[in-house]
Structure 1
Amino acid sequence: MNNLVKRTHTFPIFDDFFDDFFQRPLSKNGMNCMRTDIQEVENGYSLDIDVPGYGKDDIKISLDNGYLTVEASQEENKEEKTGHYLRRERFLGTAARSFYVGEDIAQADIKASYDKGILKLFVPKQGTNVKAKQYIDIE
């Protein structure tokens, strides 16, 4: 015998909102985590990082003490708009992600390119010892 009763929701527009609120981790990176695919290739590692909505000039990549940090920053448009938001899911601000690549990797050996919201990085498996913070150019 089945005792389950199907219930209808009075306000279905808010269902996902409250589900997301209670299921989303309450962390600094909950909203702005850059989804990343890391693939090991023959002579290094290939990283594909999602940074949708950011332009090439909004992204900075740095190498400091063996940590490769990708930071994307975008200012909110302060124009006067009519109306108000019922739901706002898009993120504006700063998002950052760091990867430990080792202290033997040189900035010159890391390659970066950006196309259609995806930042592609190549990090070699070996390099020279560099300690100072350096920035990587995006092609």
Structure 2
Amino acid sequence: MDQMTESPFFSGTRGGLRRGWDAKETDDALNLSIDMPGLGKEDVRVSLEQNTLVIRGEGGKEGEDEESVRRYTSRIDLPEKLYRTDQIKAEMKNGVLKVTVPKVKEEERADVFQVKVD
């Protein structure tokens, strides 16, 4: 299957980045920015479940109508060999969740073996 359609950042129906998402990968980290208007940090949960980053948010209920509740759920696979999943940081500010997932440096990866060239 096409990697682009499997990516959690892309919408299969529109073929572009999910609305409200910004994902930037640098040499040092994967940086996510997710718009979650109407939610505060007490409404958002970020967890790691078997190398899958799970982002949940719920809040903003207006009145008795259950459908007016804002809900967000996303799951992002993070290969343990590529990311330092024990060092994930998240910050919620002004309705935007920013998540930073540090990367494992190539020379520190267990599956990379440097061969000496003679």
**TM-score when normalising by structure 2:** 0.61
Does residue 92 of the first structure (1) align with residue 77 of the second (2)?
no
Q: 2:31 aligns with which of 23, 46, 65?
A: 46
Q: Which residue of 1 aligns with 2:13?
A: none
Q: 1:71 aligns with which of 56, 60, 63?
A: 56
Tell which structure's C-alpha radius of gyration is larger: 1
**TM-score when normalising by structure 1:** 0.53
Structure 1: tracts of 5 or more residues without a match: 1-32, 80-89, 128-139
* Higher-RCO chain (CA-CA 8 Å, sequence separation at least 6): 1
The letter for the 1-side match of 2:90 is A
Higher strand share: 2
The letter for the 2-side match of 1:109 is Q
Q: Secondary structure at the match of 2:104?
A: coil
Structure 1 residues 125 and 74: CA distance shift in structure 2, 3 A: same
The letter for the 1-side match of 2:53 is L
Structure 1 residues 117 and 93: CA distance shift in structure 2, 3 A: closer
Any conservation in 1 of the 2:38–2:60 contact (CA below 8 Å)? Answer: no
Structure 2: tracts of 5 or more residues without a match: 1-17, 106-118
Q: Which residue of 1 aligns with 2:112?
A: none
Q: Secondary structure at the match of 1:57?
A: helix
Spell out the pairing of 1:3-14 with structure 2 (5 A cutoff): none
Give the aligned CA root-mean-square deviation in angstroms: 3.0
The letter for the 1-side match of 2:40 is G
Any conservation in 1 of the 2:55–2:73 contact (CA below 8 Å)? Answer: yes
